[in-house]
Structure 1
Amino acid sequence: MSELTAHLDVPLDRGAPAAARHAVTAVLAGWGFHDADWLDGTAVIVSELVTNAVRHGGGCVALQLEAHAGRVVVSVADGSSVMPRRRDPDAIGGRGIALIEALAAGWTVQNHQGGKRVRVELFPCPGALEGAA
């Protein structure tokens, strides 16, 4: 099976999370991932990653999708080397890592071009076509 990849540059504005969500769900649907609940969970993960990258990351924000043999990884890179960490939720935020951990199989952080890349491996998509990625 082939590996599918998509690379998206994300605008550094308030509309970035919504634009990223729409782009990612369209790409994944085009690749054969159609489960609505799975796509909704993926959209939440993308929104959290992009929001944090725009708010705290600095520099360019790049989103990447990888799919191979039914395994899908979403990653977002930004210009900050500050590693994400859990914090107590408040009125402003602090729920992102908990959401990602609830909706994904796992996540890691890598050094990336002077900044970082947060990689999130998604749970398998129910009913995904065998040939999808």
Structure 2
Amino acid sequence: MQVLQVQLEIRPDPAEVGRARRWARSRLAVSGIQADEPLAETLILLVSELVTNAVVHTGRPAVLRLSLPGAEAPEEAIVRLEVADRSGRAPVPRCVDGEATGGRGLALVDGLADRWGWSAEGVGKRIWCELDRCARPSGVTGACSEGTGAYGGLAYEAV
């Protein structure tokens, strides 16, 4: 199976969050993920959260990367989202009260992604999450069966 890997340079500006969402949406059709699929909506929300965290909490440039299954990919594949920034500060989930206007981003990532984590990378870090694209009946949730998501050839695009 071919996987399309694309990336977008993010400036340390809150306006970049909207640009990142629009860019990610434009890449979904290439991979055969329809805009009205729940996976697409979840992916765009995760892009918004992780890019916002990078822009707001680091004040430094970042790179958004998506690994998307090709349009011919089976309905059971993995979509991977990564945001790499130049801050060595570890991401820390926060406990916030009901009145707080922020601080829920990593809790959303934890609740929406099938897997997520982070790793140190040079002077910065990479935060990643994965979504399983599963062939399952409408309204049924849960992880795909084991053994899905094996990647074959890779195609690259850099922006």
Structure 1 length as normaliser, TM-score?
Answer: 0.86
Partner of 1:31: 31
More helix by percentage:
1
Partner of 2:151: none
* Number of residue pairs aligned between Structure 1 and Structure 2: 128
Q: Larger Rg: 1 or 2?
A: 2
Q: Alignment identity in percent? A: 37
Which amino acid in structure 2 is aligned with residue 46 of structure 1? Answer: V
| Residue 78 (str. 1) matches residue 85 (str. 2) | yes
Q: Give the distance between the partners of 2:124 and 2:26, measured in 1 at CA.
A: 28
Structure 2, gaps ≥5 residues long: 137-153, 155-159
User: What is the alpha-carbon root mean square deviation over aligned residues?
Assistant: 1.9
Q: CA deviation at 1:125?
A: 5.5
Deviating above 4 A after TM superposition, structure 1's stretches of 4 or more consecutive aligned residues are: none
Q: CA deviation at 1:35?
A: 5.2
Structure 2 length as normaliser, TM-score?
Answer: 0.73
Q: Give the distance between the partners of 1:58 and 1:111, measured in 2 at CA.
A: 18
Structure 1, gaps ≥5 residues long: 128-132
Report if aligned partners of 2:68, 2:78 keep a CA contact under 8 Å in 1: yes
Partner of 2:145: none
